[in-house]
Amino acid sequence: MTPYSGLAGSGSPAGWLAVAGLGPGGAQWVTPEVSQALADATDIVGYRSYVARVEPRPGLVLHASDNGDELERAAHALRLAEHGRRVVVVSSGDPGVFAMAAAVFEALEQGPLAWRALDLRVLPGVSAMLAAAAQVGAPLGHDFCAINLSDNLKPWDLLEHRLRLALQGDFVIALYNPRSQARPHGFARALELLRGTCGEAEAARRPLVFARCVCTPRQHLRVVTLSQARPEMADMRTLVIVGSSQSRLIARDGVPWVYAPRSAPRAGR
Amino acid sequence: MTPYSGLAGSGSPAGWLAVAGLGPGGAQWVTPEVSQALADATDIVGYRSYVARVEPRPGLVLHASDNGDELERAAHALRLAEHGRRVVVVSSGDPGVFAMAAAVFEALEQGPLAWRALDLRVLPGVSAMLAAAAQVGAPLGHDFCAINLSDNLKPWDLLEHRLRLALQGDFVIALYNPRSQARPHGFARALELLRGTCGEAEAARRPLVFARCVCTPRQHLRVVTLSQARPEMADMRTLVIVGSSQSRLIARDGVPWVYAPRSAPRAGR
pLDDT at residue B8, rounded to an integer: 42
pLDDT at residue B253, rounded to an integer: 86
Give this prediction's pTM: 0.94
Q: What is the pLDDT of residues B167-192, one digit of tens each?
A: 999 999 999 999 988 888 999 999 99
What does the buried/exposed string (b/e) look like for A7-29 if buried means 16 or more CB atoms within 10 Å of the residue's CB? ebeeebebbbbbbbbbbbbeebb
Nearest Cα of chain B lies from the Cα of A269 at a distance, in angstroms, of 10
Nearest Cα of chain B lies from the Cα of A109 at a distance, in angstroms, of 7
B187 vs A: CB within 8 A: no
Q: Which of A52, A56, A61 is nearest to A81 (CA)?
A: A61
> Is the model more confident about A236 or about B107?
B107
The whole-angstrom distance between residue A37's C-alpha and the CA centroid of its chain comes to: 20
pLDDT at residue A3, rounded to an integer: 45
Pairwise CA distance, residues B267 & B168, whole Å: 10
Pairwise CA distance, residues B122 & A250, whole Å: 15
Q: Do A102 and B31 touch (CB under 8 A)?
A: no
Q: Do A105 and B171 touch (CB under 8 A)?
A: no
Instruction: State in Å, rounded, how far the first CA of chain B is from the last one.
Output: 52
Describe the crossing of helices A100-110 and A70-82 by its angle, rounded to 10 degrees.
70
pLDDT at residue B14, rounded to an integer: 85
Pairwise CA distance, residues B166 & B173, whole Å: 7
B25 vs A: CB within 8 A: no
Pairwise CA distance, residues A193 & A159, whole Å: 11
pLDDT at residue A10, rounded to an integer: 44
Chain A residue at shortest CA distance from B33: A28
Task: Evaluate if residue B163 carries a pLDDT over 90.
Answer: yes
Task: Evaluate if residue B7 carries a pLDDT over 60.
Answer: no
Q: What is the DSSP letter of B214?
A: T
Task: Evaluate if residue B16 carries a pLDDT over 50.
Answer: yes
Pairwise CA distance, residues A247 & B122, whole Å: 17
Pairwise CA distance, residues B125 & A125, whole Å: 8
Question: Who among B24, B165, B259 is closest to A169 (CB)?
Answer: B165
pLDDT at residue B81, rounded to an integer: 98
Q: Please classify residue A61 by burial: count the beta carbons closer than 10 Å to its beta carbon, then call 0-12 exposed, 13-18 middle and 19+ buried.
A: middle
pLDDT at residue A21, rounded to an integer: 98
Banded model confidence at residue B30, pLDDT cuts 50, 70, 90:
very high
Cβ atoms of residues A94 and A103 within 8 Å: no
pLDDT at residue A68, rounded to an integer: 76
- In sequence order, the β-bridge partners of residue A208 are A224, A242
Cβ atoms of residues A58 and A128 within 8 Å: no
Residuewise pLDDT in 10s, chain A (269 residues): 444 343 444 445 589 999 999 999 999 999 999 999 999 999 999 999 999 999 999 999 999 998 778 999 999 999 999 999 999 999 999 999 999 999 999 999 999 999 999 999 999 999 999 999 999 999 999 999 999 999 888 999 999 999 999 999 999 999 999 998 888 899 999 999 999 999 999 999 999 999 999 999 999 999 999 999 999 999 999 999 999 999 999 999 899 999 999 998 865 44
Q: Do A135 and B122 touch (CB under 8 A)?
A: yes
Residues of B within 8 A of A161 (CB-CB) are: 169, 267-268
A134 vs B: CB within 8 A: yes
Which A positions 166-185 lie with beta carbon below 8 A of chain B?
Answer: 166, 168-171
Task: Evaluate if residue B10 carries a pLDDT over 90.
Answer: no
Q: What is the DSSP letter of B183?
A: B
* Arithmetic mean of pLDDT, B229-243: 96
Would the CA dihedral through B23, B25, B31, B32 be positive or negative? positive
What is the percentage of chain B residues whose pLDDT exceeds 70? 94
A98 vs B: CB within 8 A: yes
Q: Quick check: helix, strand or coil at residue B44? A: strand
Q: Do B257 and A108 touch (CB under 8 A)?
A: yes
> Is the model more confident about B181 or about B235?
B235
Question: Who among B94, B117, B144 is closest to A130 (CB)?
Answer: B94
Q: How many beta carbons lie within 10 A of that of residue B217, not counting itself?
A: 7
Chain A residue at shortest CA distance from B258: A105
State the best of A35, A119, A127, A130 to mutate against chain B, taking most chain B CBs within 10 Å: A130
Q: Which of A239, A244, A223, A240 is nearest to A143 (CA)?
A: A244
pLDDT at residue B149, rounded to an integer: 95
State the best of B94, B147, B175, B193 to mutate against chain A, taking most chain A CBs within 10 Å: B94
Nearest Cα of chain A lies from the Cα of B138 at a distance, in angstroms, of 5
Task: Evaluate if residue B153 carries a pLDDT over 60.
Answer: yes
Cβ atoms of residues A21 and A93 within 8 Å: yes
DSSP, residue by residue, A131-160 = HHHHHHEETTSSSEEEEE---SSS-HHHHH
The whole-angstrom distance between residue A28's C-alpha and the CA centroid of its chain comes to: 18
A68 vs B: CB within 8 A: no
Residues of B within 8 A of A123 (CB-CB) are: 134
Nearest Cα of chain B lies from the Cα of A38 at a distance, in angstroms, of 13
Cβ atoms of residues A264 and B154 within 8 Å: yes
Integer-rounded Cα radius of gyration of chain A: 21
Residues of A within 8 A of B97 (CB-CB) are: 130, 140-141
A-B C-beta contacts closer than 8 Å: 249
| Residue-range domains of chain B with CATH | 16-126 (3.40.1010.10), 129-259 (3.30.950.10)
Pairwise CA distance, residues B221 & A51, whole Å: 32
Q: Which of A107-111, B111-115, B150-154 has the lowest mean pLDDT?
A: B150-154
Pairwise CA distance, residues A222 & A128, whole Å: 15
Pairwise CA distance, residues A81 & A246, whole Å: 48
Pairwise CA distance, residues A22 & A126, whole Å: 8
Q: How many beta carbons lie within 10 A of that of residue B153, not counting itself?
A: 12
Chain B residue at shortest CA distance from A165: B165
Q: Do A157 and B27 touch (CB under 8 A)?
A: no
Banded model confidence at residue B151, pLDDT cuts 50, 70, 90:
confident
Q: What is the mean pLDDT of chain B?
A: 93
Pairwise CA distance, residues B155 & B166, whole Å: 17
What is the percentage of chain B residues whose pLDDT exceeds 90? 86
Cβ atoms of residues B142 and B243 within 8 Å: no
pLDDT at residue B5, rounded to an integer: 40
Alpha helices in chain A (DSSP H): 32-40, 48-51, 70-82, 100-110, 128-136, 156-168, 186-198, 200-203
Q: What is the DSSP letter of B94?
A: -
Which A positions 218-257 lie with beta carbon below 8 A of chain B?
Answer: 248, 250-253, 257
